[in-house]
Structure 1
C-alpha cells in the first residue's frame, strides 16, 4: 500500500495489523534497526509463512519464519498433538519472531508503539489532530484510534506526545 493510502485514511478505519508488511525491529544480535518483511494482514493464506523474513543489514543476520519452531497448541480427540507457530499481534514486539519493535516511545503516561514509520505517522496525525470527527465511520473496536489509550487521546498530553514521537523519527 502506498504512503498516500495511509495518510488519507481515517485512523478509525485502519488497524494495527494493516502495517505488518514491513516491521521495524531491534536486531537481537547487534541492537540496530532491522526489518521483518512479508507479513500479511490476513494470516490464513496458504504458504504465508514462506514469505516472512527477518533481515538485519548491519550484522547480516537473516531468519526465515518458516524455519522457526512450532509449539504444541492442542491435542485432538484421537490424542494427536497439533503444532503451530503462535503470532503475537498488538504488542510491543513483532508478531512473528517476537523481537522488540524499533518504534517504542516511553512517555510519562505509558508506552506508544508502532510497527513502522507509516504506522507511527498515522498515530502522530491522530494525536496531533484537534478534529477527530469519524465522518460517519462506524465504531470499530480494533481500529488504531480505538486502541490508543485515553491518555494518548487527551489534549493536555498532545504537545508532549508529539515532541516524543518527533524525537523517535
Structure 2
C-alpha cells in the first residue's frame, strides 16, 4: 500500500511557537519563542551563551499617517524564508541541496515536511486555508519525485542536528 499524507491541513504559522535559530552572539542554537501569538512577547534566547533579545526592542520603521497624523510602526515580520520572521536570524535547521535550501522552523516542522515529501500519495481536503497550507507552498523542486531522495536525505541530516 502506498504511503499517504495530507499536508494541506496546517499552515507554516502553526510552527512558529518555538523557532530554532543561530545565536547572533555565539553561533550555537538559540530559540525564538512566540508567546500568546503576540509579537511583543516574542523573545530570542540562547541557552549556551545566555543571550536574550526581545522583539519589542527591535527598531522598527515608522511613518506618519497623512489622514490622522498618528505615528505608526511598520512590523517587519517575514514568513516563508530561511530566517526567523521576527529577528531575521538564520534558521538552525537549514541545508543547501543541489536544487535549493531545505529549511524548517523546528523539528515538528521538519517532521511534517518529511511526511509530505515522502508520501507517494498526497491528498487535499478542501479546507478554508488549503491554499496557504504547507503542502501548497512548498517549492515544486522539493516535492518532485526526481528530487525526493536528496530532499529526504537532507531532512534526515537536519533531524540529527542538535
Q: TM-score range by the shorter chain?
A: 0.7 to 0.9
Give 1:77 shift: 2.0
Matching residue within 83, 100, 116 for 1:93: 83
Cα RMSD (Å) of the superposition?
1.9
Q: Does 1:64 align with 2:54?
A: yes
Tell me the matched-pair count: 154
Give 1:50 shift: 3.8
Aligned residue in 2 for 1:120: 110
| Stretch deviating more after TM superposition (18-27 or 152-161) | 152-161
Matching residue within 6, 18, 38 for 1:22: 18
Gaps of 5+ in 2: none
Gaps of 5+ in 1: 1-8
Q: Which has the higher contact order (CA 8 A, sep 6+)?
A: 2
Deviations 1:90-119 (A, max 9, x none): 111111111111111211111121111100
Give, in whole Å, the separation in 1 of the partners of 2:24 and 2:144: 35
Deviations 1:108-140 (A, max 9, x none): 111121111100110011111111122x43472
Cα 1:61/1:85, change in 2 over 3 Å: same
Q: Is the 8 A contact 2:102 2:154 kept in 1?
A: no
Length-normalised TM-score, structure 2? 0.86
Q: Is the 8 A contact 1:69 1:85 kept in 2?
A: no
